[in-house]
């Protein structure tokens, strides 16, 4: 289970590799959600390359941070 706040995203791996998302998301409060499909991203990226780069960079940083956090959690479980 994970919590997300303003500016967070989920589904990043599926966005990158076009695979299925393994989990569902359930909002526990009133929520505004913006969806950016890979298809729409590709259309935007053709005209706004810098924006596309910035979005991908932010996604990569966030996914790397989440992976490092998971690695630390797994190390604690191993010890």
Query: What tokens appear for 18 in the block?
Result: 């076009």
14-18, 40-44, 67-71: which range is least confident on average? 14-18
- Count, residues in the chain: 79
Inside any domain, residue 61: yes
Query: What tokens appear for 39 in the block?
Result: 């298809």
Grade residue 18 by pLDDT with cuts at 50, 70 and 90.
confident
What DSSP element (H or E) covers 66?
A: helix 49-78
Inside any domain, residue 3: no
Inside any domain, residue 4: no
Inside any domain, residue 39: yes
Inside any domain, residue 1: no
What is the span of the domain harbouring residue 72?
Answer: 12-78
Inside any domain, residue 58: yes
Report which DSSP code applies to 7: T
Report which DSSP code applies to 19: P
Inside any domain, residue 5: no
Grade residue 46 by pLDDT with cuts at 50, 70 and 90.
very high
Entry pTM: 0.71
Q: What is the total count of domains within the chain?
A: 1
Inside any domain, residue 51: yes
31 SS3 class: coil
Cα 34 from chain centre: 12
């Amino acid at each position: 289970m994970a919590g997300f706040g303003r500016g967070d995203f989920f589904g990043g791996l599926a966005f990158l590799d076009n695979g299925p998302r393994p989990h569902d998301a359930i909002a526990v409060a009133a929520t505004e959600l913006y969806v950016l499909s890979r298809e729409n991203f590709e259309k935007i990226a053709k005209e706004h390359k810098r924006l596309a780069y910035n979005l991908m960079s932010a996604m990569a940083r966030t996914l790397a941070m989440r992976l490092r956090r998971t690695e630390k959690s797994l190390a604690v479980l191993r010890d």
